[in-house]
Amino acid sequence: MTAFLKMHGLGNDFIVLDGRATSPNLTPEITRRLADRHRGIGCDQLIVIEPPRAKDSDAFMRILNADGGEVEACGNAVRCIGALMMDERGRNTALIETLAGPVAISVNEHGITADMGPARLNWNEIPLAREMDTLSLAIEDGPLRRPVGVGMGNPHAVFFVDDAERIALSDIGPRIEHHPLYPKRTNVEIVEVQGPAKLRVRVWERGAGITQACGTGACAALVGAHRRGLIGRAADIELDGGTLHVEWRDDNHVLMTGPTTLAYTGDIDLAAYA
């Protein structure tokens, strides 16, 4: 049997496995079955904690989407793993490695903060299929027009609308995710500006679908809104599952703050899902 944790950040939920002593034998099919909400545990992403690869890091975090594919970054998950490492070591900071780079984690009176690093604004950093102005991409689908392209260690297409609730995200999301401008597929944000420091954001996550919250999506939404001149450099981001606070600092680093929750623990026979 393999021990697991079920964690979430504002409903963006994760199965967490500790692979520091023994790496779990996970195939894409096993991951998909574990992520199934009717026949498995259910999650948006499966996270494996692995030994650090750099001497100053606390752990390396592998991120597997519900569709079985491995991805580079997950903002809410890295805050959850950071919270675990801080609790384990009795500290108020942690450094978590991801495929997108190291993420510094800290705790404060407002929650768990992740320094998601610099926003990627050049076409080849996101990445896009060809060179273009990332402030207004040539994508149109129904009511959605000309998104801002943003990279947060993973790709994003940020659309601005008058009413986020009226967008049929379950229909449009899959098409945008697989748009040919995004060779690695993309996350999709539907953003409504609700005030000088407030955004309403709905998210279609690459490989996971509509999720209650998306940390990198919240960061991309703020970056895109500020680049369009719609908002300042800090805002509360209201997602389906709750609110994250995001700040885009002058040094280009994006900080995201919010809660993390350990929902329950358990044991599972991974061989039964093979």
How many C-beta atoms lie closer than 10 Å to residue 135's C-beta?
Answer: 14
Widest distance between CA atoms in the chain: 53
Q: To 10 degrees, the CA torsion angle through 226, 230, 235, 236? A: -130
Q: What is the pLDDT of residue 274?
A: 86
pLDDT (tens digit, 0 to 9) for every residue of the chain, 274 residues total? Answer: 999 999 999 999 999 999 999 989 899 999 999 999 999 999 999 999 999 999 999 999 999 999 999 999 999 999 999 999 999 999 999 999 999 999 999 999 899 999 999 999 999 999 999 999 999 999 999 999 999 999 999 999 999 999 999 999 999 999 999 999 999 999 999 999 999 999 999 999 999 999 999 999 999 999 999 999 999 999 999 999 999 999 999 999 999 999 999 999 999 999 899 8
For 147, the token pair is 């998104």
Q: Taking the model in full, what pTM does it have?
A: 0.94
From residue 98, alpha-carbon distances to 122, 125, 130, 191, 217 in Å are 21, 16, 26, 27, 17
Cβ atoms 34, 40 nearer than 8 A: yes
CATH top class, domain 2-117+259-273: alpha beta
Domain boundaries along the sequence of the chain: 2-117+259-273, 118-256
For 168, the token pair is 């049929």
Cβ atoms 8, 262 nearer than 8 A: no
In angstroms and rounded to an integer, the radius of gyration of the C-alpha atoms of the chain is 18
**CA–CA gap between residue 257 and residue 110 (Å, rounded):** 7
CATH architecture of 118-256: Roll (3.10)
How many C-beta atoms lie closer than 10 Å to residue 17's C-beta?
Answer: 24
Q: What is the pLDDT of residue 74?
A: 95
Amino acid identity, position 37: R
Which residue out of 43, 80, 214, 219 is catalytically annotated? Answer: 214
Q: What is the pLDDT of residue 220?
A: 98
Active-site residue 214, yes or no? yes
